[in-house]
Amino acid sequence: MSEERLVHLEGRFAWMERHLAEQDRVILELTESVRQLRAELGRLRERAEGAEGPEGGPGAGPIDERPPHY
């Protein structure tokens, strides 16, 4: 194998190692974002379920009640 070809292959290998490390970092960031979004979605669902009134429909609960000063 020629010296030039070996240098070229080593350069490509180094680039691929850097690229792989960057992809790993991005995937870890995305995984954390998805985890946070799922947690927030769960909290929003709980809040929405808590806002349902006794009839079970949305908006039938305390949100539609008149304030005490009326």
**Residues of the domain holding 11:** 3-49
Question: Which of residues 33 and 51 earns the better pLDDT score?
Answer: 33
Residue 57 inside a domain? The answer is: no
Q: Which residues of 20-53 are buried (b: 16+ CB within 10 A; e: fewer)?
A: eeeeeeeeeeeeeeeeeeeeeeeeeeeeeeeeee
- Predicted pLDDT of residue 53: 57
Total-model pTM: 0.59
Tell me the pLDDT band of 56, cut-offs 50, 70 and 90. Answer: low
Looking at the structure of the chain, the number of domains it has is 1
**Contact between residue 62 and residue 68 where contact means Cβ atoms under 8 Å apart:** no
* Within-domain flag for 66: no
The percent of residues above 70 in pLDDT, for the chain, comes to 80
